Amino acid sequence: KNEVEQSPQNLTAQEGEFITINCSYSVGISALHWLQQHPGGGIVSLFMLSSGKKKHGRLIATINIQEKHSSLHITASHPRDSAVYICAVKQGGNKLVFGAGTILRVKS
Amino acid sequence: NAGVTQTPKFRVLKTGQSMTLLCAQDMNHEYMYWYRQDPGMGLRLIHYSVGEGTTAKGEVPDGYNVSRLKKQNFLLGLESAAPSQTSVYFCASSRAWFRGANEAFFGQGTRLTVV
């Protein structure tokens, strides 16, 4: 079992829908990252969280440390949001463990 | 544009051949990393460097070597390629080790196929 599990693995949504991607982890962490990987391959960092909630534009990330769970929400989704969304957790000793990613496709 | 540049973007190798992947960053970052990404698995750290002249093993270092002779460049070498090394390789750099408000900047990836 991976230390970082993402769900769903694949998600297809209609433009305008509210989208939620989940990340659960089984180890103690000091921070959690959400990354976006575009079809061209490039990866960009979206958020780094250690508690609570962060918002950037239409993207919202939340984390519940007690439940070892984080969610990434996309409001008013758009085809340009189509990408792979990756959760990564930072453990002690500077180890970074990545989830397998959620493939999101937003149809117009 | 500032960022992380990987070359080449695509490569097909025959089993046993060698090659070097180049990663260059112009942000004066101390930390650089090489990851591989395989279907159904998260990114896995191959090797990393915390500064010029230093390298260290990550999770999956076997079959790879690295060098950081200049701060801006981090090279990943495959001395004798194997089909198990077919993957997409990502280089990343950061000012510090993914902590605080620092971001990690990733390259565009290199798709390597070993036949």
Asked whether the beta carbons of residue A41 and residue B98 sit closer than 8 angstroms, the reply is no
Strand ranges for B1-115 from DSSP E: 4-7, 10-13, 19-25, 31-37, 44-49, 56-57, 65-67, 73-78, 87-94, 104-106, 110-114
Chain B: nearest CA to A3, how far in angstroms?
Answer: 10
Contacts (Cβ under 8 Å, ≥6 apart) of B22 = B6, B7, B73, B75
Chain B residues with CB under 8 Å of A86 CB are 42-43
Nearest CA in chain A to B107: A42
Asked whether the beta carbons of residue A2 and residue B42 sit closer than 8 angstroms, the reply is yes
Q: Which of B10-19, B81-90, B98-107 has the lowest mean pLDDT?
A: B98-107
Chain B residues with CB under 8 Å of A90 CB are 98-99
The proportion of chain B whose per-residue pLDDT surpasses 70, expressed as a percent, equals 94
Structure confidence at residue B82 (pLDDT): 97
Nearest neighbour of B40 by CB, restricted to A88, A94, A100: A100
At position B95, the amino acid (one-letter code) is R
Asked whether the beta carbons of residue A42 and residue B103 sit closer than 8 angstroms, the reply is no
In this structure, the number of other CB atoms found within 10 A of the CB of residue A86 comes to: 26
Residue range A65-91: mean pLDDT, rounded: 94
In this structure, are residues A104 and A85 in contact, taking their beta carbons and an 8 Å threshold? yes
pLDDT band for position B111 (cuts 50, 70, 90): very high
How many beta-carbon pairs below 8 A join chains A and B? 49
- Strand pairing report for A96-98 and A83-90: antiparallel
Nearest neighbour of A98 by CB, restricted to B42, B88, B103: B42
Structure tokens, B75:
């090279």
Structure confidence at residue B101 (pLDDT): 45
Chain B residues with CB under 8 Å of A42 CB are 106-109
Nearest CA in chain A to B57: A95
Chain A: nearest CA to B106, how far in angstroms?
Answer: 5
Q: Which of A21-30, A41-50, B100-109 has the lowest mean pLDDT?
A: B100-109
Q: What is the pLDDT of residues B46-88, one digit of tens each?
A: 999 999 999 999 999 999 999 999 999 999 999 999 999 999 9
